[in-house]
């Protein structure tokens, strides 16, 4: 510990000076954002929203790349999201519908993606979110699409089949698992641990280390597990914080998942197509011919052109009970030449193909 | 429209440069915050939290004072709150208990006050929030104290009578009123409007202008009003968004309150006293003697020393059914000489007096 260490007063003076500079720059940024809006209005007097998903993604990508710390890149990117959200709201705040109620993960996803200057509106069903975006009464909608503990949210996929909306972005949220017990249950009494099979798997190493001899019972969902332990003093459940609140359980251990990068995924839906940001994904719906090897033929062009698939899901077609449609996500933007080639090839091999959208990969 | 207007590309370059500078400064600020923590640890190796409520309030006061726009002072202060929250979390994130569940106004108040880098934990009752803070399992608690539509939250006041916790801060949130109807109800059919008396009063001018001939019916709470119109197709309710969600009502008109500065107030509770920030409030509990003019005698020193009272509430004493205690909030800090004089004078005039705390006034 050297004597040269600055005093508290000196450090606070330094911080005050830095704050002054940050403050000035944030307002300068807001002036530039206003000028951007003017230029765009001059180009297109009917323009409704100045939000450019690809541009926001690029700004955040730059933040993550150049970050030197000590703050984490994600932390700084989150601050920039709020700065952009505030600058954008100067012109006209975004109206965002999401699958409610308030306080859910989807709400958190909407705020994570659009910042706290956006106006968010909870709706009761995924269909309503689609309808409000289609009707133009909100700018964008946020719906869940993959839930790490319950798999894919099929209802969202079905809505895309009946809608002409585009995917304009994705959000990922980290999800944590917790060991929950009824009030008063002691660790030494636990003889059973309930959870969804996937959650038990996600916490396997932790369970092996801490409860090697306790029986693990797979049930239909984490919420169901939480409900069951409510009345069983010798049992524990693995579930999220929301379930702990809902059933008034005690969190014995928090964040027990083996892989701390356990995430859940949401889609942002809108009416416009998004230009390339430089690091994008594209989502497709494809109705295959009813023949052997149909999926194999669809996937072959991706393989040949070295394009990574990030997800593939199968759903029954809504108008034909014997046929299936595939939801395919892959890396790349539909405007990129090699992606165009692949899309053309696939189109020739299927009954029907619809591009749900190309959009920036989740940065945060 | 001059030809000198910068192009979109030029503006974006300018923004990118500004962002680089902001980014660098934010990380420099984080380095300073780390050094502050080192200095404090050297002074007191047992220090648990580096959060200084009075210092945060001063930083935000400076932000509001120097702001030149175009962003609103509140907007920039909110961004600084998040920057401070992120810097503080580098050392050790704050643990905050609040009256849950998630998604309530109290949750919003906790995030508004501590920023999104704090760890927030919903609890089922106000008592539990007090208990967790007393037990030291969280750094601070957030509880409602004044609700513009339902008056004072008496339960919080009662908890203070039985606790030695201090008030270390306050949060104010804007509350909006809405005209709600059951799905399908048309404006022309509305013959009655239900709400809590206070909410009807808050929207009187708007009601006079828009529904001059419609009967106004005061009921026990806004939530009760919302519940009633659920099954009455000729009625409307005035209530918040949460009630609209809860009872699945349509918002016919949003933000109909006559005074858009309609706020609700929350207290931050902790174990330590807060030094003066330069713009503070102090809260007292006073048990008066059972005699005529007791309250008048208590208030006289405030008047004589020109100290503004901001609130006064009366509650029955818990251990003596015939006597009352007063909760008094006033402007100033207990370390200021003229406040000390007043407090000494009051102490001599009452059965008992306890200072709940001096704390920075809500800045945002």
What is B193-215 written as a DSSP string? Answer: EEEEHHHHHHTHHHHHHH-TTSE
Cβ of residue B14 closer than 8 Å to a chain A Cβ: yes
The answer to whether the CB atoms of B80 and A33 lie below 8 A apart is: no
pLDDT per position as a tens digit, B315-360: 777 666 556 788 999 999 999 999 999 999 999 999 889 999 999 9
Return residues 89-128 of A near B (CB < 8 Å). Answer: 89-90, 100-104, 107, 116-117, 122, 124
Position A292 scores a pLDDT of: 72
Decide which of B123 and A96 is more confident: A96
CATH 3.30.70.260 fits B273-360, yes or no: yes
Chain A's closest residue to B70, CA to CA, is: A27
Confidence class for position B177, pLDDT limits 50, 70, 90: confident
The two structure tokens encoding residue B91: 């050392």
- Smallest Cβ distance to B26: which of A8, A79, A101? A79
CATH architecture of B94-175+262-272: 3-Layer(aba) Sandwich (3.40)
pLDDT at position A184 over 90: no
Lowest-pLDDT range of A27-31, B101-105, B216-220, B241-245: B101-105
d(CA B53, CA B319): 33
Please give the C-alpha separations between residue B146 and each of A337, B174, B202, in angstroms, as whole numbers.
61, 12, 15
Cβ of residue A71 closer than 8 Å to a chain B Cβ: yes
Q: Are B96 and B267 in contact (CB under 8 A)?
A: no
Decide which of A160 and A155 is more confident: A160
Position B122 scores a pLDDT of: 83
Please give the CATH topology (third level) of the domain spanning A16-92. Answer: Chorismate Mutase Domain, subunit A (1.20.59)
Helical H segments across chain B, by residue range: 8-43, 53-66, 73-91, 105-114, 126-135, 154-161, 197-202, 204-210, 222-229, 241-246, 294-304, 337-349
The two structure tokens encoding residue B240: 């918040």
Q: Are B256 and B182 in contact (CB under 8 A)?
A: no
Please give the C-alpha separations between residue B359 and each of A46, B56, B99, B170, B314, in angstroms, as whole numbers.
50, 11, 21, 8, 21
pLDDT at position B59 over 90: yes
Position B291 scores a pLDDT of: 75
CATH 3.40.190.10 fits A94-174+262-272, yes or no: yes
d(CA A195, CA A253): 15
For the stretch A76-79, contacts whose Cβ atoms lie closer than 8 Å and that sit 24 or more positions apart, written own/partner, are: A76/B23, A76/B26, A76/B27, A76/B86, A77/A363, A77/A364, A78/A112, A78/A364, A78/B82, A78/B86, A78/B116, A79/B26, A79/B79, A79/B82, A79/B83, A79/B86
The helix-helix angle for A294-304 and A337-349 (nearest 10°) equals 160
Task: Please tell me the CATH code under which domain B178-253 is placed.
Answer: 3.40.190.10
Position B320 scores a pLDDT of: 63
pLDDT at position B102 over 70: no
Decide which of B123 and A129 is more confident: A129
d(CA A216, CA A198): 12
Query: What average pLDDT score do residues B121-143 get?
Result: 91
Confidence class for position A1, pLDDT limits 50, 70, 90: very low
Cβ of residue A14 closer than 8 Å to a chain B Cβ: yes
The DSSP secondary-structure symbol of A350 reads S
CA distance, residue A308 to nearest chain B CA (Å)? 31
Position B238 scores a pLDDT of: 92
Position A149 scores a pLDDT of: 45
- Smallest Cβ distance to B103: which of A19, A103, A116? A103
Position A214 scores a pLDDT of: 93
The answer to whether the CB atoms of B5 and A39 lie below 8 A apart is: yes
Cβ of residue B67 closer than 8 Å to a chain A Cβ: yes
What is the average pLDDT value for chain A, to the nearest integer? 88
Position B35 scores a pLDDT of: 94
Lowest-pLDDT range of A261-275, B18-32, B49-63: A261-275
Cβ of residue A188 closer than 8 Å to a chain B Cβ: no
Q: Which residues of B touch A62 (CB under 8 A)?
A: 16, 19
Decide which of B3 and B287 is more confident: B287
**Domain assignments of chain B as residue spans, ordered by start:** 15-92, 94-175+262-272, 178-253, 273-360
Query: What average pLDDT score do residues B214-237 get?
Result: 87
Decide which of B124 and A131 is more confident: A131
CA distance, residue B106 to nearest chain A CA (Å)? 12
Residues near B256 by beta carbon (within 8 Å), at least 6 away in sequence: B177, B178, B179, B203, B206, B207, B238
Cβ of residue B360 closer than 8 Å to a chain A Cβ: no
Residues paired with residue A195 on neighbouring β-strands, in sequence order: A218
My answer on whether omega of the bond before A101 falls inside 30° of 0, hence cis, is yes
Position B261 scores a pLDDT of: 65
Q: Considering just the CA atoms, what is the radius of gyration of chain B in Å?
A: 24
pLDDT at position B84 over 60: yes
B92-114 in b/e form (b: 16+ CB < 10 A) is ebbbbbbbbbbbbbbbbbbbbbb
Position B1 scores a pLDDT of: 45
Cβ of residue A82 closer than 8 Å to a chain B Cβ: yes
What is the average pLDDT value for chain B, to the nearest integer? 87
Measured at the alpha carbon of residue B316, what is the angle toward residues B314 and B321, in degrees to the nearest 5?
Answer: 155
- Smallest Cβ distance to A23: which of B14, B32, B76? B76
Tell how far CA B108 is from the center of its chain.
Answer: 9
- Smallest Cβ distance to A90: which of B25, B62, B71? B71
Position B175 scores a pLDDT of: 74
pLDDT at position A174 over 70: yes
Cβ of residue B42 closer than 8 Å to a chain A Cβ: yes
ipTM above 0.90, yes or no: no
d(CA B357, CA A260): 40
Position A320 scores a pLDDT of: 63
Helical H segments across chain A, by residue range: 8-43, 53-66, 73-91, 105-114, 126-135, 154-161, 197-202, 204-210, 222-229, 241-246, 294-304, 337-349
Largest CA distance in chain B: 80
Q: Which residues of A touch B87 (CB under 8 A)?
A: 71
Going across the sheet that includes A324-331, the strands are A309-316, A324-331, A280-287, A352-360
Residue with token string 């009030």: A183
pLDDT per position as a tens digit, A222-280: 778 888 998 898 999 998 876 787 678 888 988 898 876 667 889 999 999 999 999 99
- Tell me, yes or no, if the two domains B15-92 and B94-175+262-272 fold the same way: no
Lowest-pLDDT range of A100-104, A127-131, B218-222, B302-306: A100-104
Q: Which CATH superfamily is domain B15-92 in?
A: Chorismate mutase (1.20.59.10)
Return residues 238-297 of A near B (CB < 8 Å). Answer: 242, 245, 248
Q: Are A171 and A265 in contact (CB under 8 A)?
A: yes
**Sign of the alpha-carbon dihedral angle for A62, A64, A67, A71:** positive
The answer to whether the CB atoms of B78 and A86 lie below 8 A apart is: yes
Residue with token string 């640890």: B41
Residue with token string 């006559």: B258
pLDDT at position B173 over 70: yes
Residues near A194 by beta carbon (within 8 Å), at least 6 away in sequence: A217, A218, A219, A224, A225, A228, A229, A235, A236, A237, A238
């Amino acid at each position: 510990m050297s004597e040269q260490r600055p005093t508290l007063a000196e450090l606070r003076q330094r911080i005050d000076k830095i704050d002054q500079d940050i403050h000035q720059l944030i307002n300068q940024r807001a002036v530039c954002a206003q000028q951007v809006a003017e230029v765009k209005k001059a180009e297109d007097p009917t323009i409704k929203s100045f939000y450019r998903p690809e541009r926001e993604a690029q700004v955040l990508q730059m933040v993550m790349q150049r970050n030197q710390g000590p703050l984490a890149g994600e932390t700084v990117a989150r601050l920039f999201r709020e700065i952009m959200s505030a600058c954008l709201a100067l012109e006209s705040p975004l109206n965002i519908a999401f699958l409610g109620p308030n306080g859910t993960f989807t709400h958190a996803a909407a705020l994570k993606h659009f910042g706290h200057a956006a106006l968010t509106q909870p709706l009761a069903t995924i269909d309503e979110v689609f309808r409000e975006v289609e009707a133009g009464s909100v700018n964008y909608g946020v719906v869940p699409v993959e839930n790490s503990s319950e798999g894919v949210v099929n209802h969202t996929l079905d809505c895309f089949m009946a809608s002409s909306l585009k995917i304009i972005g994705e959000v990922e949220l980290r999800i944590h698992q917790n060991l929950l017990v009824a009030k008063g249950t002691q660790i030494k009494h636990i003889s059973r641990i309930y959870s969804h099979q996937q959650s038990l798997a996600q916490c396997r190493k932790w369970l092996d280390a801490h409860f090697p001899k306790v029986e693990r019972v797979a049930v239909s969902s984490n919420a169901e597990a939480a409900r069951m332990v409510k009345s069983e003093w010798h049992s524990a459940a693995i579930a999220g914080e929301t379930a702990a609140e809902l059933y008034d359980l005690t969190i014995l251990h928090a964040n027990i998942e083996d892989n701390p990068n356990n995430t859940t995924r949401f889609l942002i839906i809108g009416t416009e197509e998004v230009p390339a940001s430089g690091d994008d994904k594209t989502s497709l719906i494809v109705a295959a011919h009813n023949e052997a090897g149909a999926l194999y033929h669809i996937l072959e062009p991706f393989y040949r052109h070295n394009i990574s698939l990030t997800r593939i899901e199968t759903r029954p077609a809504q108008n034909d009970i014997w046929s299936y449609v595939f939801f395919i996500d892959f890396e790349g933007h539909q405007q990129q030449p090699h992606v165009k080639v692949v899309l053309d090839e696939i189109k020739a091999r299927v009954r029907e193909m619809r591009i749900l959208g190309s959009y920036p990969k989740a940065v945060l």
